[in-house]
Homo-oligomer: A and B are copies of this chain.
Amino acid sequence: MYSQAEENYLKTIYNLENRYGSDVSTNLIASKTNTKASSVTDMLKKLSAKNLVQYRKYQGVHLTELGRKGALKVIRKHRLWESFLVQKLNFKWDEVHDIAEQLEHVKSEVLIDKLDAFLKFPKLDPHGDPIPDAHGRTILNKTVVISEMKIGSAGVFVGVRDSSSEFLQYLNKKNLALGDRIKVIDIEPFDGSYHIETRTHRLVITNSVADNLCLKNVK
């Protein structure tokens, strides 16, 4: 099927399309994958030749239907393995991403379907991200990031946009966990920082942190 590098690009492009709109630039991909723009150009040509992306020189790329399907398979594998690591092997949510980056490239449809069944077909991974089923379908998980909320509004913390161990360890340190009710107390106009409140404590977070916390049932 696809090489590891190809799978990583599919996943990255899929995620970037969702975050930043449907035409993804070379530099954006390069920065998210810690590679150089020239390397990205090379790979985009290859993906284009395989009909996985629509690519026009200098115009950015987006996934084709085939590419989207490929991306969803990789994402399904990644999130199921993360769920396995947390639920069955007792890893913490901040420890699983890098291991799942490796496990997601293991090739076997049967394996991943059996893993899905073993985990009782989870709908969300340990970071609150929806897990595509065997057909690539996910539940829709409508959330609002804190940076889009108004003063006085509140919701339930159900997901993160960044699941790097660095960010998650920061959240651990600040005693913020999935399921917490969070209320926006104040927004500092000077630097865009947020004063927020949980049931147990108050704290200040920067705008870039606020940009990565997803809340549900925001009112």
Contact = CB atoms under 8 A, between A and B. Distances in A.
A39 interface: no
A102 B106 contact: yes
18 contacts: A85-B111, A88-B88, A88-B118, A89-B111, A89-B115, A89-B118, A90-B114, A91-B110, A91-B114, A95-B110, A99-B106, A99-B108, A99-B111, A102-B105, A102-B106, A102-B107, A103-B103, A106-B106
Contacts of A118: 88-89
A95 B111 CA distance: 10
Given A90-B114, A91-B114, A99-B111, 17 more contacts: A85-B111, A88-B88, A88-B118, A89-B111, A89-B114, A89-B115, A89-B118, A91-B110, A95-B110, A98-B108, A99-B106, A102-B106, A102-B107, A102-B108, A103-B103, A103-B106, A106-B106
Copies in the complex: 2
Contacts of A114: 89-91
Contacts of A111: 85, 89, 99
Interface string A146-163: 000000000000000000
Interface string A50-65: 0000000000000000
Q: What size tier do the contact residues of chain A reach?
A: 10 to 19
Nearest to A106: B102
Contacts of A91: 110, 114
Contacts of A89: 111, 114-115, 118
Contacts of A108: 98-99, 102
A169 to B, nearest CB: 16
A46 B43 CA distance: 29
Nearest to A96: B111
Contacts of A106: 99, 102-103, 106
